[in-house]
Amino acid sequence: MAVYTDVSFEDLEQLLALYDIGMPLSFKGIAEGVENSNFYLQTDRGAFILTLYEKRVADTDLPFFLGLMEHMARRGIACPLPVRTRDGRQLVTLNRRSAAILTFLTGVSLRRPGVAHCAAAGAVLADLHRAGEGFALTRRNALGLAGWRPLAEAIGDADSVEDGLTGLIADSLAEAEARWPGDLPAGVIHADLFPDNVLFMKDDVSGVIDFYFACNDFYAYDLAVMLNSWCFEMDGSYNITKGKALIAAYRGHRPISEAEADALPVLMQGAALRFLLTRTYDWINHDESWLVRPKDPREYSRKLRFHRKVRHAGEYGL
């Protein structure tokens, strides 16, 4: 399970004394997630998530993440809301870690979303982009184009994961650097809106979670991240019916410019490369003492090879 830092009952009692959220009834670690230690907390006043931020999340980024969730909630996005302490703080320190308590959202994430789910999530992504307007803080995308070459160089022997992977990464990186757009509509993006970060009640979205990669970047890049993660099937094929539904729903809530449409093939390639790089790095540098198994990077090498053959956004359903 994804708990790197334990919290004892005595720790919990001291923590809850800082808040006005009632008496604890249930408290347990959550298996999902790879970045932080997460716990489900039930009190006599409701359900919450306690998150301890581990070393891969910089303390300096936390005001952006938590402030963004408050901003999004005020703008109508169903997302976790940081619970403030009695004296108004979003963050506290617990077991030498920065920590926060957030509201718990009901719903389930879908391992294999259908066409209707893709459409519903696409509309929410557009709503999220519009809701982010006016947020005062900014954060650069540390895993954007400028970060890919240093990450590729840090990986080491990618061919140990898959034959030819080093060459695929090198060629794709050079192409992305040569073709990356310089001026597209931009603002706050989620940057990690995979199916496990969208909650559903039947066919309706009940919440969006995990804002810990959120940053400022191109809106169309965020759309590319989502198409990569929602519209490929288990056999590696791209489901254009899902792609059309997701894009059409997105466009119903936020227009896509001609420049964004023209850039979509290279953005799709870049989004696949980003997750291939981080997964490959984690796969090679995995520590057996870590409590989470790294995700297989070969899922994204297959996607990247598909994108390198695409020449027009229509092949994605636009």
Q: Are the CB atoms for 233 and 115 separated by under 8 Å?
A: no
Distance CA 312, CA 108 (A): 34
Residue 33, pLDDT score: 56
The arithmetic mean of pLDDT across residues 8-33, rounded, is: 90
In a domain, residue 129? The reply is: yes
Of 52, 74, 103, the residue that ends a domain is 103
Is the pLDDT at 127 greater than 90? The verdict is yes
Token pair listed for 58:
């910089």
- Cβ-based neighbours of 104, under 8 Å, separated by 6 or more: 40, 41, 46, 47, 48, 49, 80
- Cβ-based neighbours of 163, under 8 Å, separated by 6 or more: none
Give the other-Cβ count within 10 Å of 114's Cβ.
Answer: 14
In a domain, residue 1? The reply is: no
Distance CA 210, CA 290 (A): 20
Ranking 133-137, 288-292, 311-315 by mean pLDDT, the lowest is 288-292
Q: What is the mean pLDDT of the chain?
A: 93
Distance CA 106, CA 201 (A): 8
Do 211 and 300 lie in one domain? The reply is yes
Residue 156, pLDDT score: 85
Do 83 and 138 lie in one domain? The reply is no
Burial class of 25 by CB neighbour count within 10 A (0 to 12, 13 to 18, 19+): exposed
| Boundaries of domain holding 281 | 115-316
Do 137 and 284 lie in one domain? The reply is yes
In a domain, residue 169? The reply is: yes
The reported pTM is 0.94
Of 57, 82, 103, the residue that ends a domain is 103
In a domain, residue 3? The reply is: no
202-247 tens-digit pLDDT = 889 999 999 999 999 999 999 999 999 999 999 999 999 999 999 9
pLDDT tier, 1 (very low <50, low <70, confident <90, very high otherwise): very low
Distance CA 193, CA 222 (A): 8
Do 177 and 199 lie in one domain? The reply is yes
257-279 tens-digit pLDDT = 999 999 999 999 999 999 999 99
Number of structural domains found in the chain = 2
Which letter does DSSP use for residue 60 in this model?
A: G
The arithmetic mean of pLDDT across residues 8-20, rounded, is: 95
Q: Kindly report the CATH number assigned to the domain that includes residue 171.
A: 3.90.1200.10
In a domain, residue 2? The reply is: no
pLDDT tier, 288 (very low <50, low <70, confident <90, very high otherwise): low
Do 65 and 142 lie in one domain? The reply is no
Is the pLDDT at 5 greater than 50? The verdict is yes
Of 51, 71, 103, the residue that ends a domain is 103
48-73 tens-digit pLDDT = 999 999 877 889 999 999 999 999 99
The arithmetic mean of pLDDT across residues 75-99, rounded, is: 96
Distance CA 32, CA 205 (A): 19
